[in-house]
Amino acid sequence: MDTSMKNSSKCMLTLWAGLTVLLIRWNRICSVEPMTKTNHVPRAWNTDAPDRQMGSATREYQPDQLHCQNRPIDNVTNSPQSHAIRGSNIISNASIVLIVAYMRTGSTLLGEILREVPESFYIFEPLRTIESKFNRQNTGDKKNKSVEINTADNITRLLDKNSAVDQSIKSILTCHLESLEYDILTDRHHALFKDSMKDAVQCARGNINKGNKLKNLLLKTNGTSKAKLEEDIEHANNDIRLCLAKEKELCSNSFIIVIKTIRLRMRRVLQLIPHFPNMKVIHLLRDPRGMFQSWANTGFRADFSQIAKECHTLSTNIAISKSIIHQYPEKLKIIQYEELAEFPYATTKEIFDFVGLAFSEKIQKFLSNKTSSETHGSAYDTNRRNSTETASKWRKNISFADAQTIDAICVENNEVLGYLPVKTEQELRNMSLSLRIRQNVTQALIKSYEF
């Protein structure tokens, strides 16, 4: 019997022997009827269905692969050394979805779709403030300086950026919210994307500000006033932990933890995988021409060196994705934004199959609202009247020269992803000509000699 078989039968045993309540909850989330394309796709989207006959799009669920929870997770080391491979290196058996994406690739939409899953615990861009903290403090010759990471647990950590990123992600994945940097907790985005976090942040903000001030003072203090400061900090931290208690419980009782981030490199993800056996990774990417034109529409006009840098990051991440696919089959899926926009139902179903969640009616309704919404939102909004149109809108106002330059810069990625170079301006503007070959990118990547 292989390990996964053993694991799943052990899980089943636990389930059957376990509480009825647990079983009911499990049933609600995990047990899913096999679903074919035709029985659930709403009428408005029937046009999508015939296109989506690729491979295993209609394959059946394998509910035994997920939701074998051992919660709550109790004994976890959050030290940066904890990723060293050891004999027994599992940090948590929780079900996890990690959305690894890039700016303007539809990751907010995908995150919101997964947030809609009942009892999912969703965290939006947790690394945003950590990144700016390091950017603020690591300037000039201090490129790799370690930075004081202020948290509401009693541990003071002086960490370099990679360790800070690693420790933040692990804190979320183990529901140790008190081990998150103060600034992560007060990031206004949590409240925007997660109602329950709003209360926690509101409750904790005062003490977090206090804690920040006290910790700064502490750095400059010695002697007797130090002990008093430490005591005050512990009081503030204690109050912060109380504010987080409810959120922490939601996290521990959730059936799936979802993180969406544009700030996590695939190299770090590869290091996380052995520690989180029930983690699934979605690598979300997009036609670079559309991505950079969309950056411009939000007011950020990247120069070609920034574009080259991003395409290089993408290319490294694709190469590591290939290695993950080799080493850990069924752990990583590459999703193209265009697929999500043009075939939202089929693609979301594919994603839900992959992570082992039921593609419920609730999710389908949410999707229909999001992808063919009546209101057309701002650049940061995810409400779109017609998502197919949105996906290719960039072709209307990118300059032909820019399109050609980006094609040249990102050529290596584009080949495996099926994005076609533009040869003439007419071709760029003529929307009835596709600039993408629909292919199974995973297969293309496996066959590719470039990666």
Binding flag, residue 447, ligand NAG (CB under 6 A): no
Q: Which stretch binds ligand NAG (CB under 6 A): 25-33, 106-114, 128-136, 424-432?
A: 424-432
User: 354: which 2 tokens?
Assistant: 């992959």
Find, among 106, 14, 67, the residue nearest to 358 by Cα. Answer: 67
* Structural contact between residues 217 and 210, judged by C-beta atoms closer than 8 angstroms: no
Tell me the window of 52-60, 109-117, 259-267, 305-313 that interacts with ligand NAG (CB under 6 A): 52-60
Q: Which stretch binds ligand NAG (CB under 6 A): 108-116, 146-154, 196-204, 410-418?
A: 146-154
Please provide residue 158's backbone torsions phi and psi, each rounded to the nearest 5 degrees: -110, 105
Q: What is the dihedral of CA 47, 29, 78, 162, to 10 degrees?
A: 0
Cβ–Cβ < 8 Å for 317, 77? no
- Distance from C-alpha of 73 to C-alpha of 85, rounded to nearest angstrom: 19
If one asks whether residue 60 binds ligand NAG (CB under 6 A), the answer comes out as no
Contact between 57 and ligand NAG (CB under 6 A)? yes
315 binds ligand NAG (CB under 6 A): no
To the nearest 10°, the Cα dihedral for 61, 62, 68, 69?
Answer: -30
- Select the residue interacting with ligand NAG from 15, 23, 49, 54 (CB under 6 A): 54
Minimum distance between the CB of residue 166 and ligand NAG, rounded to whole angstroms? 11
Smallest distance, ligand NAG to C-beta of residue 205, A: 20
434 part of the interface to ligand NAG, by CB under 6 A: no
Residues 6+ apart with CB under 8 A from 290: 104, 337, 338, 391, 392, 394, 395
Interacting residue with ligand NAG among 15, 23, 218, 296 (CB under 6 A) = 296
Query: Looking at this protein, which amino acid is placed at residue 92?
Result: S
Is the CB of residue 123 less than 8 Å from the CB of residue 263? no
Q: Which of 132, 386, 399, 434 binds ligand NAG (CB under 6 A)?
A: 386
Task: Indicate whether 14 belongs to the interface with ligand NAG (CB under 6 A).
Answer: no
The 221-240 contact track toward ligand NAG, x by CB under 6 A, reads -xx----------x------
**Residues 240 to 279 in contact with ligand NAG, rule: CB under 6 A:** none
DSSP string across 318-360? HHHHHHHHHHSTTSEEEEEHHHHHHSHHHHHHHHHHHHT----
Return the range that interacts with ligand NAG (CB under 6 A); candidates 125-133, 250-258, 405-413, 440-448: 440-448
Q: Is 154 in the site for ligand NAG (CB under 6 A)?
A: yes
- Single out the residue of 9, 27, 31, 56 in contact with ligand NAG (rule: CB under 6 A): 56
- Kindly state whether residue 399 participates in binding ligand NAG, applying the rule CB under 6 A: no
Minimum gap (Å) between residue 145 Cβ and ligand NAG: 8
Whose CA is closest to 350, among 150, 89, 52? 52
Residue 49 binds ligand NAG, judged by CB under 6 A: no
Amino acid present at 390: T
Among 426, 434, 447, 450, binds ligand NAG (CB under 6 A): 426
7 binds ligand NAG (CB under 6 A): yes
87 lines the binding site for ligand NAG (CB under 6 A): no
Least gap, CB of 50 to ligand NAG (angstroms): 14
Q: Which stretch binds ligand NAG (CB under 6 A): 193-201, 202-210, 281-289, 365-373?
A: 365-373
Q: Mark the segment that binds ligand NAG (CB under 6 A) among 22-30, 105-113, 201-209, 391-399.
A: 391-399
Q: How far is the CB of 330 from ligand NAG (least distance, A)?
A: 8
The residue whose two tokens read 């029985």 is 39
Sort 330 into a burial class: Cβ within 10 Å, 0-12 / 13-18 / 19+. Answer: exposed
Contact between 430 and ligand NAG (CB under 6 A)?
yes
**Beta-ladder partners of 96:** 257, 279
- Kind and range of the H or E run holding 258: strand 256-261
CA distance linking residue 293 with residue 424, whole number of Å: 18
Rounded least distance, CB 149 to ligand NAG, Å: 13
Buried b (16+ CB within 10 A) or exposed e, 122-157: bbbbbbbbbbebbeeebeeeeeeebbebbbbbeeeb
**What is the distance between the alpha carbons of residues 361 and 373, in angstroms, rounded to a whole number?**
17
Token couple for 279: 């983690």
Among 297, 315, 360, 405, binds ligand NAG (CB under 6 A): 297
Query: In the complex, which residues of this chain contact ligand NAG (CB under 6 A)?
Result: 7, 10, 54-57, 70, 73, 75, 77, 90, 92-93, 144, 146, 153-154, 160, 222-223, 234, 296-297, 350, 365, 368-369, 372, 386, 388-389, 393, 396-397, 426, 430, 432-433, 440, 442-443
